[in-house]
Chain A
């Protein structure tokens, strides 16, 4: 049985659980939406909000990432399923890729919803020439976030204090994604005079990040979840 097939089986299992339990739709999306609303309370000017909207989208994504990762591994630790997968000798790289893929799908859904929320709440518009850049940014940034989140989520899942260890490890690690994705979205949306062509160098950075952590993560996951 190839590891790739096992990864797809694991990803399908995670997504099937999401379909059954609806945690993303019933809890995480509302959480993200509320975050977008309270940003407006803190940053009290329309002009400010419009200017920083791309950053707020990605900030809300970062916080929701932490919640999604906790959930992704809560299902594994609730009844010892991750242990069971380890006992069964499933290739840890396959487990990692599978969970990362499922996490990426959930993140993409989240980001699209946040984008539309920003359009409504922060008066953003998407110019036609920015669509390709926007979509590419979402895809590459998501891959990087899913790679980092799954890796550190797996490490933290085995320990008490996991709720605080996860943000400590994850947020500095995704700083490049936050920087790059925000700048790229600013270019795509034309925020503060940014042009679409500027955004592509950021996408390059996001892609390198995703590949680096995707490969590094799949190698590191096994040793990190092992005893």
Chain B
């Protein structure tokens, strides 16, 4: 089975993420203390690093959720300091929380997100099929799902929103081995169809099989971030 994602075409690759000496704070704590990284379209980049290194803040910064305090940053060509709103519309973040409504069913959650971008019923169904949450699961209330099923539902919401940059924070956490493999398949397929993915994970074994590149986040800075 071919485990490697297709090599991105570097000759006309867009730069999806570009950060120079970015500083972002959590309260008064400089979670990111001058981070620099470049990511090209179609890459799957793995963020490695211990807890507290700043991986989550880095992802939230790239999602436009957290303001850039110092330094510069561009996502999909948009300036993080001045165009945060536009950045958000093109980016999908899956953090420690899934962003789901517990009292709605799987189908209703995905339909909600789909309708906000005007997705057709066909697109919504396709997203659900791709993530394996159609049929049996679609009418189940989110409260009754396992962690892996919730994670897949959240990813279906990302897919249906047509996000160009996926930012995933420990997506494998709480999933069993089978679910993790399925997740990796989904991510590779997404990258193959043009999405760029940044994954923060402790799963060091997956570095080779899943991602095209691994960078280390240590104490708010990034090593190996530049191409």
Contact = CB atoms under 8 A, between A and B. Distances in A.
Interface residues of B, number: 34
Given A1-B118, A17-B104, A87 B112 contact: no
B99 A83 contact: yes
8 contacts: A13-B101, A75-B101, A75-B102, A81-B101, A88-B113, A89-B85, A89-B88, A227-B65
Given A75-B101, A81-B99, A83-B99, A9 B91 contact: no
B152 to A, nearest CB: 14
Contacts of A84: 93, 99, 157
A227 B137 CA distance: 35
A80 interface: yes
Contacts of A87: 63-65, 88, 91-93, 99
Given A17-B103, A21-B103, A87-B91, 13 more contacts: A1-B116, A6-B116, A13-B108, A75-B102, A80-B99, A83-B95, A83-B97, A84-B157, A86-B88, A87-B93, A88-B88, A88-B89, A90-B116
Interface string A69-92: 000000100111101101111100
B101 A1 contact: no
A123 interface: no
Interface string B60-92: 000111110000000000000000011111111
Nearest to B86: A89
A132 B21 CA distance: 64
A36 B96 CA distance: 42
A158 to B, nearest CB: 12
A83 B99 CA distance: 7
Contacts of B157: 84
Which of B91, B99, B115 lies at the interface centre, i.e. has the most chain A CB atoms within 10 A of its CB?
A: B99
Contacts of A6: 116
B48 interface: no
